[in-house]
Amino acid sequence: MAVSISDDEFDILVGEALDEIPEEFWEKVDNVVVQVQDLPEDGSRNILGLYEGIPLSERDSWYAGVLPDIVWIFRTPLKAMARDEDDLREQIGITVVHEIGHFFGLDDHHLEELGWG
């Protein structure tokens, strides 16, 4: 059964997860926005988050004047997989770190090895 919280409450949990990312990492995050929506464009219900953009590890001197990268966090699948609000908070945190990890150039395999799968 899906956790039942409002969109505003969900957004607060995402904000809290972002606040937990250490400052030394945030100092390196540039030209990235975090967006929350119910589902990915394709309607998939098994994708919790998505990073769209050019990872920091691939940016070079040519990188200027480009649209921001986007970290997507998807409400419906996260709420559906969580047992309760505490579990939802934890899963949002894992998802946020996972997608920010992609910004730093980490692939899924490496993120899983680090416990952020």
Distant-in-sequence contacts of 109-116, Cβ < 8 A, 24+ apart: none
Residue 100 lies in a domain: yes
Host domain of residue 83? 7-54+67-113
Nearest to 20 by CA among 78, 91, 97: 97
CATH code of residue 85: 3.30.2010.20
**Is 42 within the bounds of a domain?**
yes
Question: Is 2 within a domain?
Answer: no
* pLDDT tens per residue, range 4-46: 999 999 999 999 999 998 888 888 888 899 999 999 999 999 9
Identify the band that residue 1 occupies on the pLDDT scale cut at 50, 70 and 90.
low
Q: What is the mean pLDDT of residues 62-72?
A: 88
Residue at 1 is within a domain: no
What pTM does this model have?
0.88
The gap from C-alpha 70 to its chain's centroid, in whole angstroms, comes to 9
61 assigned to some structural domain? no
Q: What are the two backbone dihedrals, phi and then psi, of residue 71, each rounded to the nearest 5 degrees?
A: -100, 115
> Within a domain: residue 60?
no
- Give 97's contacts (C-beta < 8 A, 6+ positions apart): 17, 21, 116
Domain count of the fold of the chain: 1
